[in-house]
Chains A and B, each alone.
Chain A
Amino acid sequence: MPMTGPDTVRLANVIAAQLNYAAVDLLGTDLNVLNQLPPGGTVKERALGLISLLNGNIPPRDRELLEKLRNHPNAAVKTVANDILQPPFVSKTGTARDAVMLGRSAFIARSVLRDKLDPEFTVPQPNNTHVLIVKGKYPSGKSYSYGFLHHLAFQEVNAQATRLSAMGIPCAFELLRRSLLQLGVPTGALQPLADSPQIAREVDALIPAFKAAIRSLTTPFWLVIDDLNDASVTRDIREAALSMARAVEDDKPPFLWIMLLGYNDEVTDDTLRNAAIDDAEFPTSVKAADFLDIVAEQSGVVLQRKAQDITDLLFEKHHPFDPVDKAAMKSLTRDLEVMAQKLKQGLQP
């Protein structure tokens, strides 16, 4: 989490259709944010305000709302909350590891990532690594990995995946503090150094408290630190994330796995020699066609055209590779997702 825009719309609409203003306010009261909501508005606006507020909290609290709603007496609300928390998936083999659609999101190809995670992360053994690094110097769908990690963690090991974007985090201390907040463990032992002229020494001083805190976890978590390759993320933050990964690998705490998305520097540390490394690559037209074939097959649709003809047209429309264009990749992915949705509805071009 946080929740995406389309999920937010879906949830707000079902709340507006099924609940009244007072019920939304009750949720706000339960979550202790009622006084932060702007006054007035429709039920839907009230719901949107509540979701947006929880979504933007540090750490995001949208999950708390969804957990409440999945136990709500109203069946429609309950269904939507449940769908967002655990999106239904489409998989060629029926297994979670081969899922290509998670709710409405596509997760295409990435066989290497799937192989690295399963069984290394899904069947924990004492020797197994607790660290995954997803590299990708260019736009390549690294952040899409989170949806899959979230899905796999839940489906295979009943772990909660939680995503922390490194964007906008000002210092190592804050990265560690927010990580602990997301894991729901006390942060009190983590104190900023009183006066540290050399940034390098700050992380070393913070790691013991981080280690002590993660040992106190009692349920499994996959902590996903995302956007490490974003321009706004400084070297100090990247190195702090690496130090956290090293601490986790060193200790192998029973309830924490850590994933660094976009950490592109070479890892020379012996501690991380067994870390799983994946090179994210944006799928080719062939892989995208495989994706459509799987969705069609799983939806009982006999495609009357070659999936490759469809994906070739979409790649020709968006031309994501020449030059590499992140926006084009996102638009193309959106079209593939719409196409997959249509196939699921039994429609085809």
Chain B
Amino acid sequence: MTTTLQSQPLKPPDKLTLSQLEAFLGTSPDATPDVQTYCESAAVLVAFDVLTLSAISASGVPAQGNTLDDLLSVCEPAVQVDRPALWSLALPTRRAALARLGTRAQMKIARAANPGLRDLTLQKVLDRMIDGEAFDLDTLSRDELAALAIISEWMEGILTDLPDKNGLSRALALADILAPLRRLADTSFVGRESQLQRLAAYVSSPGALPPLFVFGTGGVGKSSLLARFVLRDLVPQGQPIAYLDIDRPTIQPDKPLTLLVDAVGQFAPQVGLSPLEVDPMVKEMTFALRRQEGGRHLESIANDDWVFNLFANSLLPRLAGRMPVMVIDTIEEAQFLGSEVVDRLMQFAFDLVAKVPVMRIVLVGRVLPDGYVALAKEGGPTTTFVDVDDWMRDERRPERPINLEVLDDASGRELLARELHLLGVLPLTDNELTEVIGIVSSNPMCLKLGARVLRDEGVASLRADRAKFFAKLKAEKIQGLLYGRILRHLHGKRSSGDEDVRRVAYPGLVVRRLTPEVIRDVLAGPCKLTLTPAYDEYAIIRALSREAALMERDPEDNSLRHRADVRRVMLQDLIDHVDTTVVSQINLNAVKHYSGNSEPVSRAEEIYHRMRSGDPPEELEPLWMEAAGPRLKGAIGEVSGRQRLWLASKLHVTLDAAARDSADHEAWEEQTARLVDRCLRSQEADKALKALHERTMRAPRSRLYALEAEAYRFLGQFDEALTVGRRGVESLSRVGAIDMALELLLKMAVIEETRERFVEAETLVDEAIGFAVHSANRLLRLRAETTKLRLQRQLRPSAREERALLRQRVLDSMDDEMMHALRAQPVLLREAAAELSKQDARLAALAIDTLGIEVQTDPQAQAFGEAIARLNKTRQDAGTKPAITVDTDRLQGSGFDPATIRSWVTNNVTSGDTRNLSISLAQADDKVLSGFREYFRAGVESRLRGKSETMNQKWEV
């Protein structure tokens, strides 16, 4: 049935049948019996060497000639197997071969032709399936579950008794969540029974409860406790859990909604929510995050209730009596960023339990945040309390915080004994255990470090000079002792005795980074080292580098650095014990050593040692470079006074009021601006004004004018806002701060616009445009012109020609660079789309892609319903599929009822649908675009009044 190319067809051919088409296409490479036998052998192997593969019936003869070619043509490189030179069958060929084998018995025969590879998890699970073993999903490792998922796909429809698909994907998702917890709650976890019981009581107590806070110093075992609790008490009961570590790259502590996005992803498979059900909810959360724009707080308001309701509505019906538990670990990372960040996070947690009363939230951090105590005191879902100490002792309150302290004696002994056993150290006697614990304390981290000292020293040597050993231990503080012991151990390994290594090590903690050059140039003098060719700075570095318990490699430049957790607990001890002149000299040497180098590592160390030497911020300022910032994050707790304020500003960290009080004015303004910005983002305008009123003076280029005007705007005190704004414009324009003045004028204009004083607003915009002529900031110019367009439309709706001219000028500026920049300015993007999207479809597409579909207010929802109906109708008329599948008749039939549209968008429209809509809009005609322009206008209107959420929508939870 093959036809060669003809220049002119004679007559239309008969209707093509499948068998004719198959005949035309010919057989596939695995169609011949010879190749099929090899494929059948290969089908029960996860990977194989194509040159040695034995077929079932080929008596061990490998494939050759055309058979080999055909076999290899249906193979893929075995990327999932960490061995070279192996291939695996492509999925369709594998499934066809398995189907031919058909039964477990036949598969066993095929497998026997090529034994081996039994050490690979994937092969082991395949063998078990062929052997007909049952799989208990609860006991399989994460790797085994993944293997089972892959192999079930191979066997689907061929073998019976396959694991339930949904159960398998649930187990796999849970295994991912539990993986970090299993690492934490390792075999050396001991004790903590009372704390475990308290956690269990908190989860099982009826009714709504505030979040429970577990706090304790670093290394005391907080995360391990929670890991053990989850694994021992929650997982076996099938309680849905979400473990959220603020350190994870997907979580941003200053945006608590990112926690909820992560939590949804973790809870969903455990409660049986399918990806299609979860996607619309996550989409709403993600877009809510993207709609925030710095400096335009009122227009960026996001009320968490909106997403809490979505979350609750999806989760609650699936709980079937279970209590979802959310653990939020490493709260200190939020505390590091400033009190308002952690306060907002606490508020978020309290709001969430208020909205989802069955939810249990366990917060884990080093200290109890004031914001947490204040919220707990307010009562939350339970009754209030007066005295914090009484509250923490009140056993009737299951939510009272857990202060995790060192282990009790028995547990400490057990942990030390277990650690020694794991490290292969001979068991200690009871007395020895007691004495060691007496010195190192029962802090789990110290016990583990102590065990390593014993491993390195050897128990026998301790016993040989027992009295001396313990006497020395007792003479020093715990951490200093541990550190010193390890270093003395290194020193002891040397052939000739001197004290160089010990001397380097002990004051060595003053420097954060150790290289041979640092030892030579920075430490040798103050530490009185006598470096010799036989034992020089390189030998010391080599010796130190072997101590994984105390040192780690800096991945950026391969230098050695002290482990941050160890250094943190030891530094103060060291400063207390080492002569201050030695410390000062080390700092001075370090500054000299690093100065003149402009790469980030050296610059960070230079700044660090200058700060430790007390250099003033004005001398530090010229040294600052952004790339050095991440390396100075840990230094903020090690410096004080003005240096601390300066560093905090550089790292975008806010400090407490006492620290701000002591600051000079410039530093105070910077700190206050940061605080006010974060307060306004969490809609705490009163708190923002309080901070702003700490001082009345303003620097000539102060950012505080704009923030104060915004705070008054939040409170509806428009006259005050305008007064502050005008004062700011005058000050800023006097010193030539054009952009800041322009931005302030635009803020004043929208304040007037909000109270419908359009003439006054336009006067302000005209003034702003006067400034904009001198500004190099294209986005600010766009904002001024867009605002002008909006006001012109309100004031002179029939002056179309004037508007067209204005519009064309703005459209001319819409190049690719502007389009990219607009993604970072969601409020301006919405405003630009509201004025220009009919003429520039790219703006409509970009706005949908960036802002998502906004249906929180009734006018937005209605306008969107009408716009999408028109778009789909246009596409239908053109014979293309709808941009988003929706029952348009139903929408129209409901009169574009906002509630119906809101429900559809939030519950059914996925993120992929939203991207599809954006793509469709890029090619839409102006009729369609005018509908979307109305929708964007409804959004601008709502946002200017600070409404992001429907006020009249009641949610059933």
Contact = CB atoms under 8 A, between A and B. Distances in A.
Given A231-B149, A273-B290, A349-B1, A200 B73 contact: no
Given A191-B555, A268-B289, A349-B16, A339 B25 contact: yes
A203 B255 contact: no
B37 interface: no
Contacts of B15: 309
Given A6-B73, A231-B149, A304 B12 contact: yes
Contacts of A203: 249
Contacts of A194: 548-549, 551-553, 563
B258 interface: yes
B558 interface: yes
Q: How large is the interface on B (under 10, 10 to 19, 20 to 34, 35 or more residues)?
A: 35 or more
A232 interface: yes
Q: A8, A58, A327, A328: which has the most chain B beta carbons within 10 Å? A: A327
A193 B563 CA distance: 10
A346 B4 CA distance: 6
B368 interface: no
A9 B87 CA distance: 13
A168 B261 contact: no
A274 B5 contact: no
Given A232-B150, A349-B1, A334 B28 contact: yes
A198 B245 CA distance: 9
A232 B80 contact: yes
Nearest to B919: A112
Given A52-B50, A135-B912, A5 B76 contact: yes
A208 B180 contact: no
Interface residues of A, number: 97
A224 interface: no
Interface string A1-44: 01111101100010000000000000000000000101001001
Contact of B558 (A165, A189, A205): A189
Interface in A109-146: 112, 115, 125, 127-128, 135, 137
B850 interface: yes
A105 interface: no
Interface string B239-251: 0000001011110
A235 interface: yes
B77 A3 contact: yes
A212 interface: yes
A9 B21 CA distance: 26
Interface stretch (B104-112, B340-348, B410-418, B818-826): B818-826
Contacts of B84: 36, 52-53, 55-57
B345 to A, nearest CB: 16
A277 B223 CA distance: 36
B78 A56 contact: yes
A193 B18 contact: no
A157 interface: no
B555 A48 contact: no
B286 interface: yes
Contact of B557 (A128, A189, A246): A189
B254 to A, nearest CB: 11
Interface stretch (A64-72, A93-101, A254-262, A310-318): A310-318
A127 B824 CA distance: 12
B770 interface: no
Given A199-B179, A277-B915, 13 more contacts: A3-B77, A44-B68, A127-B816, A193-B552, A200-B245, A203-B249, A268-B257, A269-B252, A279-B915, A330-B90, A330-B92, A347-B24, A349-B21
Interface of A: 2-6, 8-9, 13, 36, 38, 41, 44-45, 48-49, 52-53, 55-58, 60, 112, 115, 125, 127-128, 135, 137, 165, 167-168, 188-191, 193-195, 197-201, 203-206, 208-209, 212, 227, 230-232, 234-236, 239, 242-243, 246, 265-270, 273-274, 277, 279, 300-302, 304-305, 309-310, 313-314, 316-317, 326-328, 330-331, 334-335, 338-339, 342, 346-349
10 nearest interchain CB pairs? A209-B555, A56-B84, A194-B548, A200-B247, A231-B149, A5-B75, A191-B553, A349-B24, A52-B85, A165-B79
18 contacts: A2-B77, A5-B72, A13-B69, A55-B77, A56-B86, A189-B558, A194-B551, A200-B180, A200-B245, A200-B249, A246-B249, A302-B7, A305-B16, A331-B92, A342-B25, A346-B5, A347-B2, A348-B5
